[in-house]
Amino acid sequence: MQQDAGATAARIRRAGQRRRVNVIALALSLAAMAVGRANAALSARRSEQHTAAAIVDLEHAHAQLELNVELRTAQLRQALADKDVLLREIHHRVKNNLQVIASLLALQSSAARPEVRPAFDESRQRIRSMGLVHELLYQSEELASIDFAEYLRRVADSVSNSFGAHDVELVVRAPGVRLDVDAAVPCGLIVNELVTNSFKHAFPDRSGRIVVSVTLDHDDVLLEVCDDGIGLPASFQLDTARTLGLQIVNALSHQLHGGVEFTRDHGTRFCVRFPRPACMKAAA
């Protein structure tokens, strides 16, 4: 009996010890979980703090970038405005210098012998046609190109006024066309020479009509000067023409990488065909 009681007591003690061990293990496990949760919460708070700091840094960098962009944009706008002012001043000065040259030629013409005065007057008219380009560019809002119809109209009117030909109708057709100075100057000189030629030779003691037109033919530009005058002599050949005006027309046509043709049907028609400049604008 005593042995059974001792064995029972031993089993009870061992069972108590196991329960205490299990309780301690459970307590340690709960403590580890609590520590893990605390560490996770601390890490989360630190991560949130780092994120908030990064957001603040990004917002500051974005604000600084916007400020730099606004400052640079203002500088570029000012530089562009300064460039426009400089270009206008350049065109204005070129126009004035050409006007001075034309005035000097006029003075020289008045003092020259009568037989050489026409040469001075024609040279002065050529200089005027070049000066008109710079005058229109100076007055235009768009400095890269000019209204070509307005330019041709003023060139043709200037030639007409120099001849005092009130009985000759002058028509210019170039709707919506714009050209830059590199193409406008040679075209203006070509028109100046051909219109001058018509006034000088096409209408001896009679009225008539001169038409200046610009049209587009796919990738080419057609510049035409037509009159209903008496026409060219049957023996006339453009390639062998000895007059300075037609030599200028030939040379400027080549400068435009084009060519010039003429016909004698019901008057005279000159057509200059050249590749369409990249800058050229026309109404659709």
pTM of the full predicted structure?
0.69
Of the listed ranges 103-107, 114-118, 155-159, 161-165, the least confidently predicted one is 161-165
Of the listed ranges 80-84, 164-168, 238-242, the least confidently predicted one is 80-84
Query: How does pLDDT run across 262-282, given as a tens digit for each residue?
Result: 888 788 999 999 998 876 644
Take residue 122 and report the two structure tokens written for it: 């024609």
Residue whose tokens read 């003429």 = 262
Query: How does pLDDT run across 67-96, given as a tens digit for each residue?
Result: 888 878 877 777 666 666 666 777 678 888
| CA nearest neighbour of 92 among 155, 142, 36, 139 | 139
**DSSP secondary structure of the chain:** -HHHHHHHHHHHHHHHHHHHHHHHHHHHHHHHHHHHHHHHHHHHHHHHHHHHHHHHHHHHHHHHHHHHHHHHHHHHHHHHHHHHHHHHHHHHHHHHHHHHHHHHHHHHHHHS-GGGHHHHHHHHHHHHHHHHHHHHHHH-S-TT-EEHHHHHHHHHHHHHHHHT-TTEEEEEE-TT-EE-HHHHHHHHHHHHHHHHHHHHHT-TTS-EEEEEEEEEETTEEEEEEEE-SS---TT--GGG--SHHHHHHHHHHHHTT-EEEEE-TTSEEEEEEEEPPTT-B---
